[in-house]
Amino acid sequence: MSLQVTDLRVYYRTLAGDVKALDGATFSIADKEIMGLAGESGCGKSTLGNSLIRLDGRMKYIGGSVNLDGAELPIWDNAGMNEFRFRDVSVIPQYAMSAMNPTRKIGKMTEELLESRGESYRQIRPELLRRVDLVGLDRDVLKRYPIELSGGMKQRMVMVISTLLDPSLLIADEVTSALDVSTQRAVAETLVSFRDRGFVKSMMVITHDISILYQTADTILIMYAGKLAEKAATKTIIDGCRHPYTKLLISSLPEVGIRYANKKLKGIPGSPPSLLKPPTGCRFRDRCPLAFDKCVEEPPFVEIATDHSVACWKVTGTDA
Amino acid sequence: MLSLDRVTKVYKVGTFGGKDMVAVRDVSFDINPGEVVSLIGESGSGKTTVGKMILKLIDISGGSISLDGLDVASIHGAGVKRYYRHVQGVFQDPFSSYNPIFKADRVLSLIRSEYFADMARSEWNAKVEAALRAVTLDPDQVLNKFPHQLSGGQLQRLLVARALLLELKILVADEIISMLDASTRIDVLNMLAELKSRGMGILFITHDLSLGNYISEKTVILRRGVVVEMGATDKVFANPTHPYTRMLVSSVPQLHKKWVQIEAELPAPIAGRGGCLFHEMYPLAGRTPEPAADEPTLAKIEEDHFVGCFDLPSEKASLVA
């Protein structure tokens, strides 16, 4: 068991009160597993990703624990986490295009980064060059400034730097959203190859694009309004999902081959609830076509089949 | 009908504008009333430049754009305002399209002060309500609110409603749903499809093939400023002929079909031909592209389907017009 997250709660501090962006998440990621994390904007998926590597000033750790390879991650302790960052937990940030220092050449920046972690650049350089080749970049990129690279090239360079110390967990936050389809495919396939080559042990891919997850992820976790809705193997989520939210989310995806004239797709009516004062009970209740009286109570996130967990009264039965 | 005829845009770049950069070259297509044309291309392919030229936000360097026979480049002064009565645009980022200091419905009242200054208030309110209903917005939910109180989908639809207040003929929708969530983007897309039944022509600019395929009648695929393939959407997607189109179609992430089952390799180009920008990018190994004559011109391979490539299959090449 590589990563085990138990009842993690992270809120945002605002003048109006706490925004309960992540309200009790329990899940695990196995070794060699790529877990996709999907949901609408504002459902807490980036909060979950960020909380595993760095809580910024507005984020407040409320409770829960994160266990990586048997060691407890002190995610509430910014300085204490330094020991784990980059080496054990690494991140490809949402805006990888602007993640690199524009005033340094890429090689120099990588050198400084490694030295700040007490690693020797000279020892790691051969491996760095090998990986630069692997992602299809010219070795000369190390002598260039970030501005000289295109978006896709920067994205791949950031991926190489992030995984240089072979982290145990890699968090990839919306890495493909800003890219063109052809670059998107190259980047997504590189992510999978990093796992296959053992550069990273397990991976969490955060995106709102479920079709990308279908191509890359082994399991998919669907979040809604700060809570977990459903987790299962990719194939199960796409072909046999049980939670009404997952069903609506997947049925709203336009695919090549579906035309408005032949098949009219529907969105999900309404919008996610405010997390400042989240509704009690099932948070999807107001938009759910199946909602019934039991939904005023909060549904537990239970395993209904092997590796398939759902939080919905309609699926688990009301006696659960 | 809006027609583009060999439209070209050259930007001056470098110190003192000493160099020319051709952003769009010889793009020709028509947008008929009640038709959605999707303009698909990667970043830097010039798709937004085409949209901006139609909206008269930048000048045209060559060729011409005409709306119902009127040359757009020749419109000056008061004519510009008349032109915008018929042609409007909506852009990618809904949050930066609004002034955060003012209420969101100010975009509607600005239309009133510009175009309908002497309309009675009750008549105006009825008009606003009809426009909001047309974009499936509830007036109570969106009027009198600040931009931050509305969702991205609502803001984007409000901008379309603003355009609807005018006697709109052409709507340029530049990546209007790429910043929206999967659950709301389909609503905005369906709304666009509804609008075309009112006789509006829509230029739907996107990099997402599945979205373009979903609503458009006609598809134009742009690469580095040049049209590589265009025609009726079902024909282009059923029978993608240009190697670039084939690569794009195979790269789209799909449900129920893994990438590994689809080849994304580019075919090796035939040696001895040059001039095609696409093949210059992907020359045969070890071969530098020969500086040869012309870009391939668009050839008709079947009814309503045009491809700009030298390597057309021979039985189709006989149809070259």
- pLDDT tens across B83-135, in order? 999 999 998 888 888 999 999 889 999 999 988 888 899 999 999 998 888 88
Count up the domains in chain A and report the number. 1
Cβ–Cβ below 8 Å for A40 and B252: no
pLDDT at B318 over 70: no
Chain B hits for A151, Cβ within 8 Å:
43
Asked whether A35 and A171 are in contact (CB, 8 A), the reply is no
Residue A79 lies in a domain: yes
Q: What's the order of all strands across the beta sheet hosting A202-206?
A: A89-92, A169-173, A202-206, A34-38, A219-224, A227-233, A308-310, A302-305
Does A16 contact chain B (CB < 8 Å)? Answer: no
Taking an 8 Å cut-off on Cβ atoms, the answer to whether A260 and B214 are in contact is yes
| Chain B: closest CA distance from residue A115 (Å) | 36
Show which residues on chain B lie within 8 Å of chain A, measured between beta carbons.
Answer: 42-43, 151-152, 181-187, 189-190, 193, 207-211, 213-215, 233-234, 237, 247-249, 251-256, 258-259, 264
Average pLDDT, chain B: 81
> Is A257 in the B-facing interface, judged by CB distances under 8 Å?
yes
Nearest to B186 by CA among A218, A80, A258, A151: A258
Q: Would residue A225 count as lying in a domain? A: yes
Please check the confidence at residue B321 and state whether its pLDDT lies above 50: no
Closest chain A residue by Cα to residue B249: A256
Helices (H) and strands (E) in chain A, counts: 10, 12
Chain B residues within 8 A of A188 when measuring between CB atoms:
253, 259
**How big is chain B, counted in residues?**
321
Selected residues 53-72 of chain A with any CB under 8 Å from a CB in chain B: none
Q: Do the Cβ atoms of A260 and B42 come within 8 Å?
A: no
Question: Cβ(A135)–Cβ(A188) under 8 Å?
Answer: no
Q: Would you say residue A142 lies in a domain?
A: no
User: B213 with B33: CB under 8 angstroms?
Assistant: no
pLDDT score, position B270 = 44
Contacts of A252 in chain B (CB under 8 A): 182-183, 185-186
Instruction: Report in angstroms the alpha-carbon separations of B234 from B212, B228, B304.
Output: 11, 16, 10
Owning domain of residue A17: 3-88+201-316
Q: Which helix (H) or strand (E) holds A172?
A: strand A169-173
pLDDT on residue B263: 56
Question: What's the CATH number where A72 sits?
Answer: 3.40.50.300
Give the C-alpha separation, A199 to A194, whole Å. Answer: 5
Q: Which domains does chain B have, with CATH numbers?
A: 2-233 (3.40.50.300), 239-321 (no CATH)
Least Cα distance to A142 among A155, A152, A128, A127 occurs for A128
Nearest to B131 by CA among B182, B200, B63: B200
The answer to the question of residue A146 being in a domain is: no
pLDDT at B315 over 60: no
As a whole number of angstroms, the distance between CA B307 and CA B301 comes to 7
Q: A299: alpha, beta or left, given left = phi > 0 and alpha = psi -120 to 50?
A: beta
Q: Please name the member of A212, A239, A265 whose beta carbon is closest to the beta carbon of B253.
A: A212
Q: How many CB atoms lie within 10 A of CB B146?
A: 15
Distance from CA of A269 to the nearest CA of B (A): 8
Q: What three-state secondary structure class fits B182? A: helix
Interface test with A, best of B42, B214, B266 (most A CBs within 10 A): B214
Contact state of A254 with B210 under an 8 Å Cβ cutoff? yes
> What stretches of B17-67 show up as alpha helix (H) in DSSP?
47-54
Distance, CA of B319 to CA of B299 (rounded, Å): 8
CB atoms within 10 A of CB B222: 23
- Residue in B with minimal Cα distance to A186: B251
What's the pLDDT at A170?
94
Contacts with A250 from chain B: Cβ below 8 Å: 255
Any B CB within 8 A of A266 CB: yes
Phi/psi at B32 (nearest 5 deg)? -85, 160
Tens of pLDDT, residue by residue over B155-211, are 888 998 898 888 889 999 988 887 777 777 888 888 888 888 888 999 999 888 888
Would you state the structure tokens that stand for residue B40, as one six-digit string? 């698909």
pLDDT at site B320: 43
CA A265 to chain centre: 27
Contact B182 A260 (CB under 8 A): no
Verify whether the Cβ–Cβ distance B253 to A182 is below 8 Å. Answer: no
Amino acid letter at B89? G
What whole-number distance in Å separates Cα of residue A159 and Cα of residue A164?
Answer: 9
Chain A residue nearest residue B136, CA to CA: A269
Q: Is the pLDDT of residue B61 over 50?
A: yes
| Confidence check: pLDDT of B317 > 70 | no
pLDDT above 50: residue B282: no
Q: Is the pLDDT of residue B298 over 50?
A: yes
Q: Which of B187, B207, B213 sits opposite A181 (nearest CB)?
A: B207
Tell me which of A256, A258, A264 to substitute to probe the interface with B (most B C-beta atoms closer than 10 Å): A256
Q: How far apart are CA A165 and CA A161, in angstroms?
A: 8
A193 contacts chain B (CB < 8 A) = no
Task: Work out the minimum CA distance from A315 to partner chain B, whole angstroms.
Answer: 22
CB < 8 Å to B234, chain A: 259
For residues A208 and A290, give the distance between their C-alpha atoms in angstroms, rounded to a whole number: 24
What pLDDT score was predicted for residue B269? 44
- Provide φ and ψ at A170, rounded to 5°: -120, 130
Token output for B307? 């491809």
Residues of chain B above pLDDT 90, percent: 23
Cα A269 from Cα A263, distance rounded (Å): 18
Query: CB-CB: which of B42, B43, B181 is closest to A40?
Result: B181
| 320 residues of chain A, pLDDT tens digit each | 689 999 999 998 888 888 888 988 999 999 999 999 998 877 888 889 989 988 787 888 999 999 999 889 888 888 888 888 988 999 998 777 788 889 999 999 999 999 988 889 999 999 999 999 988 888 999 999 998 888 778 888 999 999 999 999 999 988 887 777 778 888 888 899 999 999 999 999 998 888 889 989 999 999 998 899 999 999 999 888 999 999 988 888 877 777 777 778 888 887 788 888 888 889 998 888 888 888 898 899 989 888 899 999 988 876 54
Residue A102 falls inside a structural domain: no
What is the pLDDT confidence band of residue B279, given thresholds at 50, 70 and 90? low
pLDDT at B283 over 60: no
A64 within domain boundaries: yes
**Has residue A143 been placed in a domain?**
no
User: Above 0.85 for ipTM, yes or no?
Assistant: no
* Contact check, Cβ <8 Å, A265/B214: yes
Which two structure tokens, joined as six digits, stand for A76?
């509430």
pLDDT over 50 at B243, yes or no: yes
Give the per-residue pLDDT at B286.
35
How many CB atoms within 10 Å of residue B73? 14
Cβ distance B185 to A267 less than 8 Å, yes or no, reads: yes
